[in-house]
Chains A and B, each alone.
Chain A
């Protein structure tokens, strides 16, 4: 398995192996025939669907909603980091601005929440166009710094237009209007089932993007931009398109989050939010798609436990986890698990044949 971020500092020749061009994080890709590989993908999708549907039975529904929203947010980051090789450290800009726009639409126009979220998502995609256009001019670490700086600019702008955004107080009491269905509007358990469809739609979109010809080009760009360019692909255009798509998914997640909580605050736009989603993505496993949901479940539930136990040093805990993951488990939880699975399968096949 090739890891999305190259393990050598040499960027020119590191990825010349034949397998380097695949989204090989799916279970056992190299070892399975294409037909079975496809079947496994569908099984994973089905398992994900079931997990999403039983989640509020297992944990407190608002926490389940948080997990789902952060999971999609992490997937949006992974679409860039794992499948295109771009680390966006400014995705809070899209999550947060969509949270605000979703909230504003819901408050001022009283529209049903899926419509409000759609509006927030479109807004996130709209601001992603100029930010993406400028940011893709740089790669690697520069891309991370530039996106971070632009996100901070959005933060300051939101803080400045406090008449609209509520400044330090944020947007309060965002309604959960849903075509007059009272159980959804008042009970977080039913709200979860009304909103999870949007999240699943987002996950499905990401899955479709990754397993499409477009997604293959992205992976080719990740592994060797010069070669992709030589093959005639307009690398920058692909990067901008995936950046905007990713911002849309982040916006979808942010909109659901804002409706679920009933408020949108500046914290949603802050760089700590960008950092947290990157942490979740890396913890789950870069370039794995399913790592995002796993990382989100762990981090959200950990934060929930810490908050309810009255411990305030969340940064210490999260920072330490991050340091350990980056030092020792760079493939993340999902990546490490699939690595192990592949190794045992390979071992068994060697013995069996």
Chain B
């Protein structure tokens, strides 16, 4: 029983990273119609930035949680302004390919600068121990990661449902054309939304820093799992991204615990099942194609 709770917690903590990053992927897709292949690379940049800032200026984890997403927001704004923007009117596959090329560059730059072995990142003080609840011993960091990603997902949810900006984002996710027709300047929000999505990937990266090996390649597999997450959740759906993120985290953790040989494969089997029985994803609507 206690083992099961631990696996669940581990799954929810890992799922939190997926959920946050997938949320970023979903808002970008919603407003821009772009599937950002470099999302994994941006997640990696978040983790690397946290490690480098700790090493060079001794930036504390809590500060990094705020500063790194802001840095990644700037990276996202630059990416959108300089590159992604020019292809927005074309077939979305072009931006998929563009961001794939970008991701090759980013990964290689980091690899050449910081090598292939992992960067060290100690668990921040206060989060490095065990939390004892009755007979249960839980990793404090996992409890924190889990709660924190719930919190951020909740905040983003509030932002999307309770503010005017959120309303515009949701409206253009639903139907960008009609939102424009209602006189709302969707174009104004394109750059900040892209930056915001990248910042969420960066935030997931910072949170993963004390938890995972920080290498240039850490985003490569992550982004593919992320694609599986949004296919499961339904790419157009923000709620779907979050739910599927946690679901995939759980499936992965249970897989590692009970069928370690097939931990990774299980995720893709789940995706195959969704594609077979609900092609539009758990929370997606049928395409009109």
Question: Taking beta carbons and an 8 Å cutoff, which residues of A are in contact with B?
Answer: 5-9, 11, 87, 134-135, 137-142, 144-146, 148-150, 152-153, 156-157, 160, 225-226, 271-272, 275, 278-279, 282, 312-316, 318-323, 326-327, 330
Would you give the shortest CB distance from B115 to chain A, in whole angstroms? 11
Interchain CB contact (< 8 A) of B289 among A149, A225, A318: A225
Q: How far is the CA of A319 from the CA of B97 in the complex (A)?
A: 10
A-B contact count (CB 8 A): 136
Q: Beyond A7-B91, A139-B287, is A316–B109 a contact (Cβ under 8 Å)?
A: yes
Q: Say whether B112 contacts A313, CB under 8 Å.
A: yes
Q: Say whether B108 contacts A319, CB under 8 Å.
A: yes
Interchain CB contact (< 8 A) of B276 among A134, A152, A282, A322: A134
Q: Say whether B93 contacts A319, CB under 8 Å.
A: no
Interchain CB contact (< 8 A) of B224 among A6, A149, A282: A149
Interchain CB contact (< 8 A) of B105 among A8, A152, A271, A319: A319
Q: Say whether A152 contacts B268, CB under 8 Å.
A: yes
Q: Say whether A316 contacts B275, CB under 8 Å.
A: no
Interchain CB contact (< 8 A) of B107 among A225, A315, A323: A315
Name which of B6-14, B44-52, B81-89, B122-130 contacts chain A: B81-89
Q: Say whether A327 contacts B261, CB under 8 Å.
A: no
- Find the residue from A139, A141, A312 having the highest chain B CB count within 10 A: A141
Q: Beyond A5-B91, A141-B93, A319-B102, is A150–B83 a contact (Cβ under 8 Å)?
A: no
Of residues 24 through 83 on chain B, the ones whose CB sits less than 8 Å from some CB of chain A are: 33, 35, 83
Q: Say whether B103 contacts A145, CB under 8 Å.
A: no
Q: Beyond A225-B289, A313-B108, A323-B101, is A271–B224 a contact (Cβ under 8 Å)?
A: yes
Would you give the shortest CB distance from B113 to chain A, in whole angstroms? 10
Q: Beyond A87-B93, A152-B224, A327-B87, is A11–B289 a contact (Cβ under 8 Å)?
A: yes
Chain B, 261-273, contact with A by CB distance < 8 Å: what is the 0/1 string? 1101100110110
> Which chain B residue shows the least CB distance to A6?
B91
Name which of B131-139, B140-148, B157-165, B228-236 contacts chain A: B228-236
